[in-house]
């Protein structure tokens, strides 16, 4: 009797030998339906195609051997419940003993005179070679590339392979989501071929073809969804600006804006005059002057009777923005307020009333801005700084306080452009790619801990000249012996290296009031050297600080090191960054060399992506992007670029994916973006 055909949405229990109990194990792997099973892709493969000679095998590493069984030895019971089975095999030049523990079934399956491919670790004792508990494949098998799946206790590789094979054989139709023209344009195989060869590749070439198809499809669906979100936001009505004269603002500035700042301001104003809500990412290196661009936008909004809200992830950064915006906007008669959680309740109520009445045209704050008790008279622009530090719901709640307000996202985290298009694919991008005039390059050095004493001698000279220093450590307490814990280290610095100087301590476990107090004392110059964790990474602006010392520098990504380095070099004096590490690895030395010679955050981010992968930029799905099953943002950039181009073309030709040939695409995108909640 022929097997009943399976469909994508059938429960996993429709596959033979999968009952309710085993289905619970599959559920732990995220597999509930037959479609889920087919998308449980192998995490690696065992390639039996190129066996090694026994004499050339690498000891204590996994090797593939092609051998013939010459004899089987008598089983030996070495203790209760443990029987050892041994066979002697040859590859024609050398002999080897194969040891199998407690598996008479495996021992009985192997016959004298037959060829087998073995995969396992080989050990040598003199001229004797031995392999214990290898994986065994018949020598004439036509499946020489074996999938290795992620497992959970109770499931084996053999079970997974049998179930996947049955699912492929019984799937009457693996529908092809991608339209024919997109497959042809990008040289992609059919869906069934891809699924068959991702699980059971005929050869390495077939595996490559299958991977490229499935990776392209994954990235294409993701970028297509982003394009649809972008189109949807363009359909909504925004506040169209009527007055957009920047002259009073530009004339009031004590410095000249760079051409990149002026270009970014003009891009923002053009968006806000269009009648559609602006959705723009303002990306600029540390110290590039993003706040001046934000202030220009807020000024133009105020001339149109519209309010601006700027949300920062920490109170330190909110305070910094408040002071900067007051300096830019107060002389022009634009009132700015600060609303944070640590303010006294009476002050909060007063500020909330003034925001609601419209007396404050610009409100700066932390998460306190989007609480239900805060109402705006006419909110026209929402600016979020370091957007990825906020949840999607927080940003949406703040934007919801206006009627489709314009949105500007500022980020000093340098992200390679291709990744920026992925993370912020629903946004237009403005890039500030030049530093303000007169800004000096920060001199960067990598040293070992042995030179710490002389390094602090240099720090003392800078402090004696009236300058200040940051000393950053990666841990708060002494949790790991090789990490410079900031509390203990601050004591050591103040009692020995910088004895007689005023040393402060700043870390994330302090209360907001404590942090603000320490930062105020550092900004005023009362504290000369600040020992801190990475809480100083973003937004802290002390022009008098000229030295950044980073302990255990090997523990930080390049982009994070660059962010920390950007805390100095903001004044008129030459600034320095010293990276301290006792790591002797080639990778660590290479990273130190990059930091010493490279000052562009964007070039550093490209190198960081190559060295560490995309986790540095994406974190734990912090941007709310659907999780990728096969695609790797670090290695699949070329495929991503092709997918983005194809998605753009498709949305131009069919903006709502309403054509019959695109129905599977629309369905796939809706499923990818949480059943269409984002679309």
- Does residue 415 fall inside a structural domain? yes
Of the pLDDT bands very low, low, confident and very high (cuts 50, 70, 90), residue 621 is: very low
Name residues whose C-beta falls within 8 Å of residue 136's C-beta, 6 or more positions apart in sequence: 106, 109, 110, 116, 117, 118, 119
Domain boundary among 369, 397, 432: 432
Can you give the pLDDT at residue 3?
78
- Does residue 331 fall inside a structural domain? yes
Q: Are residues 325 and 456 in the same domain?
A: no
Packing angle between helix 157-170 and helix 191-199, nearest 10 degrees? 160
Q: Are residues 61 and 37 in the same domain?
A: no
**Percent of the chain surpassing pLDDT 90:** 56
Residue 338 has φ and ψ, to the nearest 5°, of: -125, 125
- The full DSSP string for 123-167 is EEETTEEEEES-EEEETT-S--EEEE----TT--HHHHHHHHHHH
Integer Cα distance of 407 and 608 in angstroms: 29
- Minimal CA–CA distance to 91: which of 57, 47, 140? 57
Q: What is the Cα 463 distance to its own chain's centre? A: 38
Q: Are residues 129 and 59 in the same domain?
A: yes
Can you give the pLDDT at residue 513?
80
For residue 496, pLDDT beyond 80 = yes
Can you give the pLDDT at residue 399?
62
Of the pLDDT bands very low, low, confident and very high (cuts 50, 70, 90), residue 629 is: confident
Name residues whose C-beta falls within 8 Å of residue 229's C-beta, 6 or more positions apart in sequence: 425, 426, 678, 679
Residue 635, Cβ density class (10 Å: 0-12 exposed, 13-18 middle, ≥19 buried):
middle
For residue 481, pLDDT beyond 60 = no
Say which DSSP state 475 is in.
Answer: B
Integer Cα distance of 175 and 165 in angstroms: 18
Q: Which residues of 112-133 are buried (b: 16+ CB within 10 A; e: fewer)?
A: eeeebbbbbbbeeeeeebebee
For residue 620, pLDDT beyond 50 = no
Integer Cα distance of 210 and 205 in angstroms: 9
Of the pLDDT bands very low, low, confident and very high (cuts 50, 70, 90), residue 529 is: very high
What's the CATH number where 66 sits? 2.40.50.140
Q: How many residues does the chain have?
A: 679
Average pLDDT, stretch 634-639? 77
For residue 65, pLDDT beyond 80 = yes
First-to-last C-alpha distance (Å) of the chain: 45
Collapsing DSSP to helix, strand or coil, 197 comes out as: helix
Domain boundary among 537, 566, 598: 598
Q: Are residues 448 and 421 in the same domain?
A: no
Q: Which residue has the higher pLDDT, 584 or 652?
A: 652
Integer Cα distance of 643 and 459 in angstroms: 50
Task: Put residue 262 in one of left, alpha, beta given phi > 0 → left and psi -120 to 50 → alpha.
Answer: alpha
Q: Are residues 417 and 521 in the same domain?
A: no
For residue 391, pLDDT beyond 50 = no
Average pLDDT, stretch 421-448? 80
Integer Cα distance of 16 and 544 in angstroms: 72
What's the CATH number where 337 sits? 3.40.50.300
Can you give the pLDDT at residue 392?
47
Can you give the pLDDT at residue 387?
57
Comparing 31-35, 151-155, 436-440, 559-563, which segment has the lowest mean pLDDT? 436-440
Q: Are residues 32 and 86 in the same domain?
A: no
Comparing 280-289, 390-399, 571-580, which segment has the lowest mean pLDDT? 390-399
For residue 641, pLDDT beyond 90 = no
Q: Are residues 28 and 95 in the same domain?
A: no
The pLDDT tens digits for 83-127 are: 999 999 999 999 999 999 999 999 999 999 999 999 999 999 888
Bridge partners (DSSP) listed for residue 529: 469, 503
- Does residue 82 fall inside a structural domain? yes
Show the DSSP H helices in 72-128 as ranges: 104-109
Can you give the pLDDT at residue 358?
93
Domain boundary among 577, 598, 619: 598
Integer Cα distance of 171 and 346 in angstroms: 66
Angle among Cα 57, 61, 64 to the nearest 5 degrees reads 55
The pLDDT tens digits for 158-213 are: 999 999 999 999 997 788 889 999 999 999 999 999 999 999 999 999 999 999 99
Q: State the sign of the Cα–Cα–Cα–Cα dihedral 272, 277, 283, 289.
A: positive
Q: Residue 589 to residues 447, 554, 679: CA-CA distances in angstroms?
A: 10, 9, 46
Integer Cα distance of 668 and 662 in angstroms: 10
Q: Are residues 7 and 135 in the same domain?
A: no
- Does residue 217 fall inside a structural domain? no
DSSP H or E run through 221: helix 204-235
Packing angle between helix 290-303 and helix 315-329, nearest 10 degrees? 60
Q: Are residues 399 and 275 in the same domain?
A: yes
**Cα maximum dimension of the chain:** 96
- Does residue 615 fall inside a structural domain? no
**Percent of the chain surpassing pLDDT 70:** 89
- Does residue 437 fall inside a structural domain? no
Bridge partners (DSSP) listed for residue 409: 281, 384
Q: Which residue has the higher pLDDT, 416 or 100?
A: 100
Collapsing DSSP to helix, strand or coil, 116 comes out as: strand
Integer Cα distance of 86 and 137 in angstroms: 17
Can you give the pLDDT at residue 298?
97
Can you give the pLDDT at residue 2?
59
Average pLDDT, stretch 574-585? 91
Can you give the pLDDT at residue 222?
86
How many CA within 13 A on the CB side of residue 478? Answer: 6
- HEC secondary structure over 490-558: HHHHHHHHCCCCCEEEECCCCCHHHHHHHHHHHHHCCCCEEEECHHHCCCCCCCCEEEEEECCHHHCCH
Residue 378 has φ and ψ, to the nearest 5°, of: -155, 90
Can you give the pLDDT at residue 676?
43
**Count of domains for the chain:** 4
Comparing 130-139, 535-544, 641-650, which segment has the lowest mean pLDDT? 535-544
Average pLDDT, stretch 8-24? 94
Integer Cα distance of 593 and 84 in angstroms: 54
For residue 677, pLDDT beyond 50 = no
Can you give the pLDDT at residue 619?
46
Angle among Cα 367, 373, 375 to the nearest 5 degrees reads 90
Can you give the pLDDT at residue 632?
77
Average pLDDT, stretch 335-343? 91
- HEC secondary structure over 340-402: CCCCCHHHHHHHHHHHHHCCCCEEEECHHHHCCCCCCCCEEEEEEECHHHCCHHHHHHHHCCC
Q: State the sign of the Cα–Cα–Cα–Cα dihedral 595, 596, 602, 606.
A: negative
- pTM exceeds 0.75, yes or no: no
Can you give the pLDDT at residue 91?
97
Domain boundaries, position 150:
1-45+144-173
For residue 48, pLDDT beyond 80 = yes
- The full DSSP string for 6-18 is B-TTSBGGGSTT-
Can you give the pLDDT at residue 484?
65
Integer Cα distance of 517 and 338 in angstroms: 17
Integer Cα distance of 256 and 220 in angstroms: 42
- Does residue 102 fall inside a structural domain? yes
Q: Are residues 278 and 421 in the same domain?
A: yes
- Does residue 651 fall inside a structural domain? no
Q: Are residues 406 and 375 in the same domain?
A: yes
The pLDDT tens digits for 201-256 are: 999 999 999 999 999 999 999 888 888 877 776 666 778 888 878 999 999 998 89
Can you give the pLDDT at residue 285?
78
Mean pLDDT of the chain: 87
- Minimal CA–CA distance to 640: which of 388, 414, 421, 413? 421
Q: Are residues 366 and 511 in the same domain?
A: no
Collapsing DSSP to helix, strand or coil, 210 comes out as: helix
Can you give the pLDDT at residue 6?
92
Q: Which residue has the higher pLDDT, 178 or 534?
A: 178
- Minimal CA–CA distance to 53: which of 39, 45, 64, 44? 64
């Amino acid at each position: 009797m022929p097997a009943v055909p399976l469909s994508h949405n059938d429960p996993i229990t429709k596959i033979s030998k999968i009952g309710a109990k085993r289905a619970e194990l599959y559920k732990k792997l995220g597999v509930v339906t037959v479609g889920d099973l087919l998308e449980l892709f192998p995490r690696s493969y065992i390639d039996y195609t190129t066996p090694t000679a026994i004499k050339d095998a690498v000891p204590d590493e996994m090797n593939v051997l092609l051998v013939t069984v010459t004899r089987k030895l008598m089983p030996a019971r070495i203790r209760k419940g443990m029987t050892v089975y041994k066979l002697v095999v040859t590859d024609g030049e050398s002999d080897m003993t194969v040891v199998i523990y407690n598996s008479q079934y495996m021992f009985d399956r192997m016959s004298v005179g037959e060829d087998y491919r073995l995969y396992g670790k080989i050990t040598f004792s003199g001229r004797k070679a031995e392999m214990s508990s290898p994986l065994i494949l018949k020598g004439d098998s036509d499946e020489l590339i074996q999938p290795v799946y992620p497992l959970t206790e109770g499931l084996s590789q053999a079970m997974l392979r049998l179930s996947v094979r049955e699912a492929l054989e019984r799937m009457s139709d693996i529908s092809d989501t991608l339209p024919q023209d997109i497959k042809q344009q990008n040289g992609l195989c059919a869906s069934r071929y891809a699924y068959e060869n991702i699980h059971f590749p005929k050869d390495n070439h077939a595996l490559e073809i299958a991977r490229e198809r499935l990776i392209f499809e994954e990235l294409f669906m993701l970028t297509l969804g982003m394009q649809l979100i972008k189109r949807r936001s363009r359909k909504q009505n925004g506040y169209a600006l009527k007055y957009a004269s920047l002259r009073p603002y530009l004339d009031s500035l004590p410095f000249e804006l760079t051409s990149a700042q002026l270009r970014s301001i003009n891009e923002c104003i053009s968006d806000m005059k269009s009648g559609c809500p602006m959705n723009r990412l303002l990306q600029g290196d540390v110290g590039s002057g993003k706040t001046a661009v934000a202030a220009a936008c807020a000024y133009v909004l105020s001339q149109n009777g519209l309010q601006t809200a700027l949300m920062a992830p920490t109170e330190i950064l909110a305070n910094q923005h408040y002071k900067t915006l007051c300096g830019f906007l107060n002389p022009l008669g634009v009132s700015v307020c600060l609303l944070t959680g640590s303010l006294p309740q009476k002050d909060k109520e007063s500020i909330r009333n003034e925001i609601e009445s419209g007396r404050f045209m610009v409100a700066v704050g932390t998460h306190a801005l989007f609480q239900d008790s805060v109402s705006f008279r006419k909110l026209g622009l929402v600016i979020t700084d370091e957007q990825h530090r906020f949840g999607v719901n927080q940003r949406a709640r703040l934007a919801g306080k206006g009627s489709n307000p314009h949105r500007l996202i500022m980020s000093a985290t340098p992200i390679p452009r291709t990744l920026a298009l992925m993370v912020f694919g629903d946004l237009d991008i403005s890039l500030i790619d030049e530093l303000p005039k007169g800004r000096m390059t920060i001199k960067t050095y990598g040293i070992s801990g042995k030179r710490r004493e002389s390094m602090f001698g240099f720090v003392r000279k800078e402090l004696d000249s009236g300058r200040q220093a940051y000393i950053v450590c990666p841990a708060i307490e002494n949790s790991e012996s090789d990490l410079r814990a900031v509390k203990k280290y601050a004591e050591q610095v103040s009692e020995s290296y910088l004895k007689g100087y005023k040393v402060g301590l700043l870390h994330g476990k302090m209360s907001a009031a404590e942090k603000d107090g320490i930062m105020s004392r550092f900004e005023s110059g009362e504290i000369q050297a600040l020992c801190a964790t990475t809480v100083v990474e973003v937004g802290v602006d002390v022009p008098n600080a000229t030295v950044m010392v980073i302990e255990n520098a090997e523990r930080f990504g390049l982009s994070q090191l660059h962010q920390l380095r950007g805390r100095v070099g903001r004044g008129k004096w030459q600034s320095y960054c010293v990276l301290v590490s006792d790591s002797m690895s080639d990778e660590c030395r290479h990273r130190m060399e990059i930091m010493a010679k490279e000052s562009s955050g964007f070039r550093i981010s490209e190198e960081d992506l190559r060295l560490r992968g995309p986790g540095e930029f994406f974190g734990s799905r912090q941007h709310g992007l659907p999780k990728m099953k096969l695609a790797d943002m670090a290695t699949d950039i070329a495929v991503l670029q092709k997918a983005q181009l194809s998605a753009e073309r498709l949305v131009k030709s069919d903006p709502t994916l309403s054509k019959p040939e695109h129905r599977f695409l629309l369905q796939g995108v809706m499923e990818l973006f949480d059943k269409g909640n984002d679309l």
